[in-house]
Amino acid sequence: MKSIDRILAVGKKVDPLIYRFLPADADKTFQPVLRHQISSGGKRVRAALTVLSCQATGGKTRDALIPAAIVELTHNYSLILDDVIDRGDVRRGLPTVRAQYSDAMAILAAMFYREVLDRLIEASRNPVQVRKVAVSAIKALIDGERLDILMEQSGRTGAYIEKHRFTEVRIDDYLHMIGKKTAALIKAACELGCIASNCPPKMRGSMKSYGWKIGLAFQVIDDYLDIFGEETGKVQGKDIIEHKLGNAVIMYALEAMGEDEQRAFLSLLRKEALSQEDLGEGMRLIQQTDARERTFNMGQRLVSEGIEAVRGLADSWAKKDLTSLAEFIGERLY
């Protein structure tokens, strides 16, 4: 077994726990709807991070399982609703909950997930602390999704969106958005591992810093793949098609372009529907800049900073695994 598979297997340990909590109080005919999102896969990276963070700070695996399930369920809660919001039909190669069961059932399933989360939090050993971290992470997810939407240049209507839509995205806006959309929950995953191990504050600070950095890295690399990564099964230029100004590659590309190219590129992003030709033109405009390299470097730098953050921890298998996991995110092609 490849080392990364062994590490991620740790995260998969939450599945039985989630399947045990999920159907409580649910009607039998609703249970397949509830199971769909969880059973359709996912690498359980966040759950693995909670368990590893607990182990690396002196705790036991079993103490981290409920917190890890909380993180994973939170992630899937937001995915179900993101797919409703974005009208997403396919995720991980399978129909999304909304595609399989309708928007209505997807919304109801997500609401149910939120209540199951509450039960998991109550079942954890430090419900007050766990709750605070989980609720903050969910609030961050909500605002991250909101900002991500407002950075889209087309495809949605309504006075609110038109009024608050970003017309340019600078590095600070971008980091603010991805911090909320992606890094906050990954940081929370690490923090919940520390709550489970009840480690000293300094260690917790290191783990949170690790989570934050690799969380940002995770999204930057996702952005990279959402432009260049046809080999991962993603459509090349996907985030161009989706009108996203909130993508690191696009942000860097626009920064490097002359005024004419900027105007041309933005008008592509603002088109309601892009032709293959438009997409080709968009990719060409990006490839004339150093955006690919800068995004790649940004991702690698964040990974290094994440690894650096845990250097001070006592040596252990778990610490080694945290480093490997960060490197895996850096090299990630999944």
Give contact residues for a second copy (rule: CB under 8 A): 25-27, 29-30, 33, 81, 84-85, 100-105, 107-108, 111-112, 114-115, 118-119, 122, 131, 135-136, 138-139, 142-143, 145-146, 149, 156-161, 164
- C-alpha span between 277 and 45 (Å, rounded): 37
Kindly state the smallest distance separating residue 76's Cβ from a second copy, in Å. 14
For a second copy, the closer of residues 185 and 307 by Cβ is 185
Encoded tokens for 311: 């250097």
> Which of 243, 259, 252, 238 minimizes the C-alpha distance to 286?
252
For a second copy, the closer of residues 112 and 328 by Cβ is 112
Kindly state the smallest distance separating residue 105's Cβ from a second copy, in Å. 6
> Which of 322, 287, 302 minimizes the C-alpha distance to 217?
302
For a second copy, the closer of residues 25 and 259 by Cβ is 25
For a second copy, the closer of residues 143 and 281 by Cβ is 143
Encoded tokens for 131: 């709750």
> Which of 283, 238, 292, 247 minimizes the C-alpha distance to 264?
283
Kindly state the smallest distance separating residue 84's Cβ from a second copy, in Å. 6
For a second copy, the closer of residues 158 and 201 by Cβ is 158
Encoded tokens for 297: 């470097």
- φ, ψ dihedrals at 152, nearest 5°: -70, 145
Q: Interhelix angle for 103-123 vs 127-150, to 10°? A: 150
Cβ(37)–Cβ(72) under 8 Å?
no
> Which of 175, 210, 218 minimizes the C-alpha distance to 189?
210
For a second copy, the closer of residues 182 and 206 by Cβ is 182
Kindly state the smallest distance separating residue 101's Cβ from a second copy, in Å. 5
For 65-213, strand residue ranges (E) read: 90-91, 94-95
Kindly state the smallest distance separating residue 148's Cβ from a second copy, in Å. 10
Kindly state the smallest distance separating residue 70's Cβ from a second copy, in Å. 13
Kindly state the smallest distance separating residue 178's Cβ from a second copy, in Å. 16
Kindly tell me the sign of the dihedral angle through the C-alpha atoms of 217, 218, 222, 223. Answer: negative
Left, alpha or beta for 234 (phi > 0: left; psi -120 to 50: alpha)? Answer: beta
DSSP code, position 242? T
Work out the number of other CB atoms within 10 angstroms of the CB of residue 24. 10
For a second copy, the closer of residues 156 and 292 by Cβ is 156
Kindly state the smallest distance separating residue 109's Cβ from a second copy, in Å. 9
For a second copy, the closer of residues 108 and 283 by Cβ is 108
